[in-house]
Structure 1
Amino acid sequence: MFDCPFCNPEKDPDQKIVFENEHCYFLQHPRHQDVLEGSGVIVPKNHQQDAFALTTDEWEATQELLQEAKEYIDRTYKPDGYTLGWNVGEVSNQFIFHAHFHIIPRYNDEPYAGKGVRFWLKSEENKRPDKVRSGQ
């Protein structure tokens, strides 16, 4: 995957490999630091389409880096909470088709404080039409 930014993190001089293990990287990019500082992603070193394709070793390596990233972000940025997640497929806003686990520090003073993953599940504006939901 020559053009994949996660298969070749060294090709983007702004992308920083904060740390890594045998199977995964924890990456940060400056364009994400302008909105919620400390944000980053954990990506498998082998190209995997999405989270459903990860091997057991990659899942374990992701868990290991998640704990290491939390310690680093807590110490460096002092967030008040976290939003964590995977996007799978275009409809969920995955636009780099290499699995990546978002680690998003959250802060009490941000405009969307208190609005995490469940916000979108409870939002009436995002409700599907009844006809579609019933399978008709």
Structure 2
Amino acid sequence: MHTQCPFCDPLMWQRESIGIENALCLFITRPEPVLAGSGLIIPRAHRPTAFDLTAEEWQASYEILTRVKAQLDRTLAPQGYTLGWNVGAVGGQEVFHAHMHVIPRFADEPYAGRGLRWWLKQEQNRRQPKSQ
């Protein structure tokens, strides 16, 4: 446990809505989801990034993911999903305890059809050539 990590705080687990869990990971939904049904798959052990997960934690994450998908397909019937891990500050990671974003996607949302790479491919995101 890391005292400064919100995902290692035992009180956080009491406040959050834990939907599906196994011995190594759990899925939580947040009070203000990105889209209906979205949430996070989080390993119970503190791992700073997805690259630090054990093989068993990857398997446990996959097992949670398939259960979450089945539940969301049954209850919300999304037309697609966006899944993602942010790694490092430059990669968008704000909490340095690995967590996978699970976001159901719907045809009637304003950004339907635009996935993770769409934002990265925009002209304003192009890197400037280094001067010699």
Compute the TM-score of the two structures, normalised by the length of structure 1: 0.88
Q: 2:32 & 2:4 partners in 1: Cα distance?
A: 19
Q: Which residue of 2 aligns with 1:51?
A: 50
Q: State the Cα deviation string for residues 20-48 of structure 1 (Å, max 9, x = none).
A: 1010011111111xx41000110100000
1:79 equivalent to 2:78? Answer yes
Q: 1:44 & 1:106 partners in 2: Cα distance?
A: 24
1:30 equivalent to 2:31? Answer yes
Displacement of 1:10 in angstroms is 4.3
Q: 1:12 & 1:62 partners in 2: Cα distance?
A: 18
Task: Check whether the contact 1:5–1:12 (CA below 8 A) recurs between aligned residues.
Answer: no
Q: State the Cα deviation string for residues 34-85 of structure 1 (Å, max 9, x = none).
A: x410001101000000000000110000010010010111112211100001
Structure with the larger helix share: 1
Q: Mind listing any 5+ residue stretches in structure 2 that lack a counterpart?
A: none
Q: Mind listing any 5+ residue stretches in structure 1 that lack a counterpart?
A: none
Equivalences for 1:1-136 in 2 at 5 Å?
A: 1-8=2-9, 10-11=11-12, 13-32=14-33, 35-131=34-130, 136=132
Displacement of 1:9 in angstroms is 5.7
* Alignment root-mean-square deviation, CA: 1.6
Displacement of 1:12 in angstroms is 5.7
Runs of 4+ in 1 over 6 A off after TM superposition: none
Compute the TM-score of the two structures, normalised by the length of structure 2: 0.91
Q: 1:12 & 1:25 partners in 2: Cα distance?
A: 10
Cα gap change, 1:105 to 1:60, in 2 (>3 Å):
same
Q: Secondary structure at the match of 1:18?
A: strand
How many residues get paired? Answer: 131
Q: Secondary structure at the match of 1:74?
A: helix
